[in-house]
Each structure stands twice: as C-alpha cells, then as structure tokens.
Copies of this chain bind each other. A is one copy, B any other.
Amino acid sequence: MRITALAGGVGGARFLRGVLAAAPEADVAVVGNVGDDITLHGLRVCPDLDTVMYTLGGGIHEGQGWGRAGETFSVAAELAEYGVGPDWFTLGDRDIATHLVRTQMLDAGYPLSAVTEALCARWKPGVRLIPATDDRAETHVVLVDEEGNRRAVHFQEYWVRMHAPKAEAITFVGAEKAQPAPGVMDAIAGADVVLFPPSNPVVSIGAILAVPGIREALAATSAPVVGLSPIIGSAPVRGMADKVLAAVGVETSAAAVAEYYGADLLDGWLIDEKDAAQRDRVEAAGIRCRAVPLLMRDLDATATMARAALELATELGRPDD
C-alpha cells in the first residue's frame, strides 16, 4: 500500500508514527511543510521537516515534541555573549549540525529535496520525506496594531516570539511562483491513500496546499483523501490553529475545518467522539465522516487513529459504498 501524507511539525510527526505502526508494510511518502523555514545565523532551518525526521528517526526530544534529545546549548550561549540575535529562537548544538549540513549543501547548489534525502540517509525515518517545494515559500502572518497599522511577520516570529496574537491574515510569500518538489506530484497521483494528519490546516497543510499544483493533484488523484481533525471541541489539540483559522475566517471546529478543505480535496474526515454531533454537517458538505477518539495519548492510541483513517479510506475506495 502506498500512503502519502501531508505533514506539518509535531502533530504530523506523531501521527506518522501511528501510520507506520498501523501499516508497517506500507510505502509511505510524506510531503512536508516548508512554510515555517527560516534562516538564522546564516543557517537554513526547516523546523517541520526536521521534526518529522527526528521523530521518526529516533532523535526527537520526546517531552517537547521538537528538537533533539540530549540537546546542549553551547553555541546559543556564545551567540548571546556576542549579542547576536534573534534571542527569541534558540538553536541547540545538535540541531545546528543538521542546519550546517543543510546550509552547506544548499549553498553548493543542491535543492532542498536532495538535501532532505541526504539528511534522512542518517536518520532512516522509514518514510520518504519530501519538502512540498524546493522553492522559497514562507508563511507570513499579517498583524494589525492598535493604531490600525498592518505589518507582516515571519511565521516563526509570530509563533515563537509573539506567542500567536490575533492575526489578520496569512500569506505564503513566494508560493505563487513555487513548484512542487520532485516526487511530490507522483506521490499524490500514485498513492493508494492520501492522509491529512491532524496538523494545522492553515499554516501546515495550508502552506503545502499553497504551492501551485498540489491542490489540483489532490483533487485529481484517484486515491481517497482522508483527514483527521486537529480540533477537538472548540480548541486545537496543540498549537495556534484557532488563531490562524480566525485569520482565514474559519471557526475553530472539526466540521468547519472539513468545510475549509472542502469536498474537492477531502473524501473522508475523522472527528473526535466528542464532536460526533458535527458528523452530519461534515457529510452534508460531501465528505464521509466518522467520529473516533482523536487524542494521540500514546503510540497505541495514535496507531488506532491511523487505522481508522485507513479503514475509512478503504471504505471510500470501494466503488459503490
């Protein structure tokens, strides 16, 4: 079975563990979000790709869900002594090695997809991790201050430095000229199942969909496309999905997110049992819906979620069902 998943950071990476546990024989491709990527201290940092790579490769800091286990911070402490900012984004030493390898390869002319493949040669994540695009397509958040002045900040600044205040709009700078990285279109067209993990629908999955061609490929693929709601009740399980959903005019609910993706993209949608009442609304939008436990408490619970998604896909794949 060929499974292709679109993934953001922590939530996506954890869900992928469940997919690998639920379908150990599957050939899994992951289209990773690069909208959060940022250059810090001259180093190209790809937080979501690295979170997937470290999580599936056994290098992740399990407690926080991102960054390296056993991390040290000598470099960051020295950069602070030099008074070199930004002081709101701390790179760990182990993590810096990844960024050094990446930056050097990018500077040598390799596309990000080739760099990611090279990094994964060490981590062996058990999936084929492909950046959504090799081009620069950065997620920026438009804010309005008290005087009504608008300004856009990089997503990392919005999230890490500013702790996700009210947002006015989300833009994907450069996305309109970006092309899907080699392998992305084939992974979508050739999949037996496409999964949308419970990642942020706007700044994770949405940033992937902002790359021209990917949305169309998802609409055109013969594979059933099944997503899992990142919203349980009226709040995101983690992160700032409520803030960025508001910025795109979408209420924070499992059904509203399904409608936001729309039946063009989604064939099936899993919502949490607590939100079972929203099932009819989702199905009214032309999306098959099931209510199952959606909290990724541990690997077993996550694998159960992945199985439910794959079962829904199988059901959707049957001609007359």
Question: With A93-B93, A122-B81 in contact, is A104–B72 under 8 Å at CB?
Answer: no
Which chain B positions have C-beta within 8 A of A78?
Answer: 93-94, 96-98
Q: Would you give the 0/1 interface string for A80-95, flagging 1 where the beta carbon is closer than 8 Å to chain B?
A: 0111100000001110
Q: How far is the CA of A81 from the CA of B59 in the complex (A)?
A: 12
B97 touches A72 (CB 8 A): no
List, in ascending order, chain B residues with CB within 8 A of A160's CB. Answer: none
Quick check: A97 and B75 within 8 Å, CB to CB? yes
Interface presence of A119 (CB below 8 A): yes
**A81, A82, A122 pick with most chain B CB within 10 angstroms:** A82
Query: What residues on B are CB-neighbors of A100 within 8 Å?
Result: 41-43, 75, 79, 84
Interface pairs (16), CB distance under 8 Å: A42-B100, A42-B104, A74-B93, A75-B94, A75-B96, A75-B97, A77-B97, A78-B93, A78-B94, A78-B96, A79-B100, A81-B122, A82-B97, A82-B98, A82-B119, A84-B104
Q: In the complex, A174 Cα to B278 Cα: how many Å? A: 71
Contact A83 B42 (CB under 8 A): no
Question: Are A83 and B43 neighbours in the complex by a CB distance under 8 Å?
Answer: no
A79 touches B107 (CB 8 A): no
Set of chain B residues within 8 Å of A103, measured between Cβ atoms: 42
A152 part of interface (Cβ distance < 8 Å): no
Distance in angstroms between the alpha carbons of A119 and B82 in the assembled complex: 7
Minimal beta-carbon separation of A44 from chain B (angstroms): 10
Residues of B within 8 A of A93 (CB): 72, 74-75, 78, 93
* Chain B residue with the shortest CB-CB distance to A39: B104
Give every chain B residue within 8 A of A75 (Cβ-Cβ). Answer: 75, 93-94, 96-97, 100
Q: Are A82 and B101 neighbours in the complex by a CB distance under 8 Å?
A: yes
Q: How far is the CA of A83 from the CA of B119 in the complex (A)?
A: 10
Give the docked Cα–Cα distance between A54 and B122 (Å): 35
What residues of B have a CB within 8 angstroms of the CB of A107 in the complex?
Answer: 42
Q: How far is the CA of A76 from the CA of B122 in the complex (A)?
A: 15
18 extra interface residue pairs, beta carbon distance < 8 Å, beyond A71-B74, A75-B75: A41-B100, A41-B104, A42-B103, A72-B74, A74-B74, A74-B92, A74-B93, A74-B94, A75-B94, A75-B97, A76-B97, A77-B97, A78-B96, A78-B97, A79-B97, A82-B98, A84-B101, A84-B104
